[in-house]
Amino acid sequence: MSLSHHHIRTTVDAYLARHTHEREQLGVLLDALDRTGEDIANRSTFTGHVTCSSIVVDQLGRVLHVLHLASGKVLAPGGHTEPTDDSLAAVALRELHEEIGIPPRAVTAWPGYETVPLDIDIHDIDAHPGKGEPGHQHFDLRFLFRLHTSTEVPVVLQEDEVVGIEWRPADRVTSPTLREKLLKLPLQVEPETANASALIHNDRGEYLLHLRDYFPGQIWEPGMWSLLGGGREPQDATLEHTVRRELAEEAGLDFTDLTPFGTEYATDDAGATVPIAIYAGRWDGDPRELHLTEGVMLAWFAPSDLHRLRIADTTSDLVRRHAARNPATQSGPEPEEKRLASPHGTVPNEGILYADRYRHMITSLVRDHRGVSACYYLDVPLETTLARHASKADAAYLEQVTDTHLTSWYRELDLLPGGLETVIPADSTLQDTVARIVRDTGLDPATAPPPQCKPSQGDSMNPLVLMSDPQVAAIPVRECGEPLVDVRDHDFRVDPRKQDPLGAFAHVREGILTRLKHARSLLPAGTDLLFIEGYRPLALQQRYFTEYRDELAPAHPDWAPEHLRQAASRYVSPPEIAPHSAGAAVDVTLADQDGHELDLGTRVNASPQESNGACFTHALNLSDQARHHRTLLLNAMESAGFTNYGTEFWHFSAADRYDALMRQEPHARYGPTELP
């Protein structure tokens, strides 16, 4: 899917707000943005289309240039957008990595230019009759980055396009408009860190973490646990002022003492490194009493609990490093007399929390929360759920949340493992349900049982939907026609375990290859993707599915054929919608720099029976090391635009029917195909 018109327009408008005098010279770009139905992110739009370049400045203030083979010109690295790009800045970083091998994590966005280009240039491109391309114009958005390391970065040239690199002083940059803007910047001075966060700890050695909202594409680290903090604003005299302001705004916290602890080098949505100044402070309060204005919740966690959380590795390392230097002054849980009763006015809410998505968080709360925690499941059938929904008096709400939504969200007996969830029968009234919870937990309610509350709209995250779900097959395919390409021609580590005589296993669609390259660039140094299998002929997919279904049948003679089909689809996709047979899926794992496969908990392609459920992406029965490796793989692949199939930690797909359903796209781009 191309970058949105809105994203391009917003970026250009932000640029013009700083450079109002350039509006006339960018008139052609503005006219293109005003034309309806024209995708200027698509390189086939020959009335003019967007390109993006990386302006990379090293520690000496020199600017990176590449010598292009075809034109002989010396230019900043850059190029066209791809359907997998999440932002214009991400385009620039991808091209930087593809052309000369510098990964996104090796650079840092220049403060103030994280999402706004330093320069926009419009230039003519000659016609290429051999490619069927007429003369046209490029609208080049140039994003500014600082080389993050003072050590020499290894360069791997894209030899079919680039023949060399050159670091030029700013006054020798060829583009006049770019040169003028660069000369106004203090390029030989390291740009000041523009973000600050608070590492808040208590006497028990626990750390206060913030669960961020799940708004992909709108906020940084959506749905992850992080530190409180944010970006520097004009009124902040120092970064300490920044973190104090953020603490007050986000949670109403005010600290007497905050001390600098260090710098966290995080990764932004485009893949660039983001230095964050960290300030440490001690607080022994109850986060339930804080007024949180952003995100979902605040909670204390011990360093030993971090492996259960969806949290950035850099944040985990920061917490553990601080804990090693600052041991707890108290041991054990908080004294009983300090535990607070249920806050006045607490009300139960009807809503949907999927066990497969939230089980780590809920299990942690039930088992480890220092107060009283319990989880209950109201066993209401779908028909009753729909009837209750229809009885709501809020017409606007009923229009927004339809029966179709509820049906797609509904899961029958979606229970937490280990007996941590109590089932309440459907005929239990709200009054009876609340009374039972109060009785079971020993809580003394501060108020009488409240009136029934409006149900939540459900999970904003994607639930685990099986491949056999009719919703998947219902997604139409608009075949884009991309060919299958061999990953072995692109310097990937390829495991031979699925090798076939034709080499079909090593093929994927072109767009999938692009995403794999991006995912690979997001992995930490010393870690690499290990490619297991891509394209799978339809006949082979049919054989795999039939064999596994027939393997399950003897152990479950009471299962109906449809039940058996659903169970089989937890491990093998039904052939008619199989992502592998569309060239849209890959089975991958991680390897070290020597090619040795890393421990991710169980072997790739292990069945649920063989692995005792460890094949599930978020399985509980994993070592800390295996969970860490899975998090690395999942973060890299999802950041590159892949969707994971939750029953197989190794399986990822994009632009197929399953991915389209998960992303609520109207159609898939890849359907069943054949190897030429």
| Average pLDDT for the chain | 81
Predicted confidence at residue 401, as pLDDT, reads 66
* 546-588 pLDDT per residue, tens: 887 888 788 778 888 887 787 777 778 888 888 999 999 999 9
Strand partners, 376: 422
Asked if the model's pLDDT at residue 452 lies above 60, the reply is no
Q: 139-153, 212-226, 461-475: which has the highest mean pLDDT? A: 139-153
If you write DSSP's letter for every residue of 214-234 in order, what string do you get? --TTTSSSTT-EE-EEEE--T
Residue 290's contacts (CB-CB under 8 Å, 6 or more residues apart) are 251, 252, 253, 298
* 254-292 pLDDT per residue, tens: 887 888 888 877 777 667 777 888 999 999 998 888 888
State which CATH number among 3.30.1380.10, 3.90.1150.10, 3.40.50.150, 2.60.40.420 fits the domain covering 470-662: 3.30.1380.10
Q: What element of type H or E holds 137?
A: strand 136-147
* Ramachandran sector of residue 27 (left: φ over 0; alpha: ψ -120 to 50; beta: rest): alpha
Structure tokens at 259: 């001390």
* 467-505 pLDDT per residue, tens: 888 889 899 999 988 999 999 999 999 999 999 889 999
Residue 2: alpha-carbon gap to chain centroid: 18
Between 313 and 215, the higher pLDDT residue:
313
Going by pLDDT thresholds of 50, 70 and 90, the confidence category of residue 344 is very low
Domain edges within the chain? 5-183, 192-328, 350-455, 470-662
Structure tokens at 442: 């020993």
**Alpha helix positions (H), 371-464:** 382-390, 395-400, 403-409, 430-441
Strand partners, 225: 211, 311
User: What's the average model confidence in pLDDT over 349-372?
Assistant: 52
**Using a CB cutoff of 8 Å and minimum separation of 24, what contacts does 602-605 make?**
604/532, 604/650, 605/532, 605/650
* Ramachandran sector of residue 495 (left: φ over 0; alpha: ψ -120 to 50; beta: rest): beta
* Percent of the chain clearing pLDDT 90 (strictly above): 32
Rounded CA-CA distance 475/97 in Å is 34
Name which of 334-348, 489-503, 639-653 the model is least confident about.
334-348
Predicted confidence at residue 217, as pLDDT, reads 57
Residue 276: φ, ψ to 5°: -125, 120
Going by pLDDT thresholds of 50, 70 and 90, the confidence category of residue 93 is very high
Predicted confidence at residue 1, as pLDDT, reads 52
Instruction: Tell me the pairing of strands 62-68 and 162-169.
Output: antiparallel
User: What's the average model confidence in pLDDT over 344-373?
Assistant: 51
Asked if the model's pLDDT at residue 599 lies above 50, the reply is yes
Q: Write the CA distances from 114 to 11, 89, 111, 133, 276, integer angstroms.
A: 11, 8, 6, 33, 14
Asked if the model's pLDDT at residue 445 lies above 60, the reply is no
- Amino acid at site 355: A
State which CATH number among 1.10.3720.10, 3.10.20.30, 3.90.79.10, 3.40.50.2300 fits the domain covering 5-183: 3.90.79.10
Predicted confidence at residue 331, as pLDDT, reads 57
CATH class, 192-328 region: alpha beta
Going by pLDDT thresholds of 50, 70 and 90, the confidence category of residue 365 is low
Going by pLDDT thresholds of 50, 70 and 90, the confidence category of residue 443 is low
> Do 219 and 295 form a contact (C-beta atoms < 8 A)?
no
* 165-207 pLDDT per residue, tens: 888 988 899 899 999 999 988 765 555 667 889 999 999 999 9
Predicted confidence at residue 582, as pLDDT, reads 94
Q: What element of type H or E holds 178?
A: helix 176-183
pTM of the model: 0.43
